[in-house]
Amino acid sequence: MASAQFSLKERDKKRWLKDRLVRFSVTCGAVSVLAALVLIFVYLAMVILPVFSDTGLETDQAVKTVAVEKPIALSVDEYGQHAFTIEKSGLVQFWDLESQNTHSYFERNVLANPVAFSRNTPSENWFAFADSASNLTFFYPEYSAPVLQKGSEADPKIEQIDLPEPFLNDESSNGTTIEKFAFSKNGRGITVAAQLSDQRVLVKWYQSDVTGQYVFQKSQWLSDKLGLQQQLLVTPDGQTLYLRSQSDLVVLKLSDSGFNVREVIDLSLNDAKHSVKSIDLLSGAYSLLVTHEDGQVSQWFDVLKDEKRSLTHIRDFQLAEQVQFILPDTYRKGFYSFYKNGTLQSHYTTSEKLSLFERAFDKSPQLAAMSANELHLATLIDGTISVAKVDNEYPQISFSSLWQKVWYESYPEPQYVWQSTSANDDFEEKFSLVPITFGTIKAALFAMMFAVPVAVLGAIYTAYFMSPRMRRVVKPSIELMEALPTVIIGFLAGLWFAPIVETHLTAVFSLMVLLPLSTLLTGFVWFCLPKMVTSRFSNGWHALILIPVLVITVVAVFAGGNSIEALLFGGDIRTFLASYGIDFDQRNALVVGFAMGFAVIPTIFTIAEDAIFSVPKHLSDGSLALGATAWQTLIYVVLLTASPGIFSAVMMGLGRAVGETMIVLMATGNTPILDWNILEGMRTLSATIAVELPESEVGGSHFRLLFLAALLLFIFTFAVNSVAEWVRQRLRDKYRAL
394-406 per-position pLDDT tens digit = 888 888 899 999 9
pLDDT at 297: 92
Helix residue spans in 414-542 (DSSP H)? 434-460, 468-481, 486-492, 498-503, 505-528, 531-534
- Structural domain contains residue 384: yes
Give the domain extent around 336: 54-143+154-416
Predicted confidence band at 9 (pLDDT cuts at 50, 70, 90)? low
277: domain CATH number?
Answer: 2.130.10.10
pLDDT score at 4: 55
573 lies in some domain: yes
Cross-strand partners of 386: 63, 379
**pLDDT higher than 80, residue 431:** yes
**How large is the angle between the packed helices 434-460 and 589-613, nearest 10 degrees?**
40
Domain boundary among 416, 446, 481: 416
4 lies in a domain? no
pLDDT value, residue 172? 64
The reply to whether 115 and 255 lie within a common domain is yes
The answer to whether residues 410 and 542 belong to one domain is: no
User: Model's pTM, two decimal places?
Assistant: 0.84
- Both 302 and 383 in a single domain? yes
What residues contact 484, with CB distance under 8 A and at least 6 apart?
Answer: 599
Among 416, 444, 460, identify where a domain stops. 416
Number of domains in the chain: 2
Query: What pLDDT was estimated at residue 373?
Result: 87
Interval 134-158 mean pLDDT: 73
Note whether 552 and 644 are same-domain residues. yes
pLDDT reported for residue 529: 83
pLDDT at 670 over 90: no
DSSP string, 657-720: HHH--HHHHHHSB--------TTS-B--HHHHHHHHGGGSPTTSHHHHHHHHHHHHHHHHHHHH
- Given a cut of 50, whether residue 1 has pLDDT beyond it is no
pLDDT-derived band at 709 (thresholds 50, 70, 90) equals very high
Are 264 and 164 part of one and the same domain? yes
22 part of a folded domain: no
Do 266 and 169 share a structural domain? yes
pLDDT at 73: 92
Banded pLDDT at 631 (limits 50, 70, 90): confident
105 burial (CB, 10 Å; 0-12 / 13-18 / 19+) is: middle
**Residue at 12 is within a domain:** no
What is the domain-level CATH number for residue 486? 1.10.3720.10
In this predicted structure, the answer to whether residue 702 has a pLDDT above a threshold of 80 is yes
Q: Kind and range of the H or E element at 237?
A: none
Indicate the length of the chain as a whole number. 738
Alpha-carbon distance of 76 to 85, in angstroms, equals 9
Question: Which of 300, 252, 296 lies closest to 271 in space, CA to CA?
Answer: 296
Please give the pLDDT value at position 5. 57
Residue 464 and residue 708: Cα distance in Å, rounded? 45
**Residue 681 neighbours by CB distance under 10 Å:** 25
Q: Identify the domain boundary among 366, 387, 416.
A: 416
User: d(Cα 198, Cα 177) in Å, to the nearest integer?
Assistant: 8
Among the ranges 103-112, 464-473, 595-604, which has the highest mean pLDDT value?
Answer: 595-604
Identify whether 3 is part of a domain.
no
Compute the average pLDDT of residues 666-678.
88
- pLDDT of 61-92, one tens digit each? 888 888 888 899 999 988 888 999 999 999 99
pLDDT at 148: 42
Q: What is the pLDDT of residues 243-289, one digit of tens each?
A: 998 889 999 999 888 899 999 999 988 888 888 999 999 988 889 99
Considering the domain architecture, whether residues 411 and 439 belong to the same structural domain is answered as no
| Same-domain pairing of 488 and 529 | yes
In a shared domain, residues 354 and 501? no
Tell whether 37 is covered by a domain: no
Confidence of residue 441 (pLDDT cuts 50, 70, 90): very high
* pLDDT for the residue 149: 45
Q: Report yes or no on 373 lying in a domain.
A: yes
Looking at the structure, tell me whether residues 408 and 507 fall in a common domain: no
Kindly give the residue spans of alpha helices, DSSP state H, lying in 529-638.
531-534, 543-559, 561-569, 573-579, 589-613, 617-625, 630-633
- Range of lowest pLDDT (183-192, 275-284, 718-727): 718-727
386 and 496 housed in the same domain: no
Binned at pLDDT 50, 70 and 90, residue 428 comes out as: confident
Please tell me whether residues 365 and 410 are part of one structural domain. Answer: yes
Q: Is the pLDDT of residue 147 over 50?
A: no
- Using alpha carbons, list the distances in angstroms from residue 137 to 133, 157, 716: 12, 15, 62
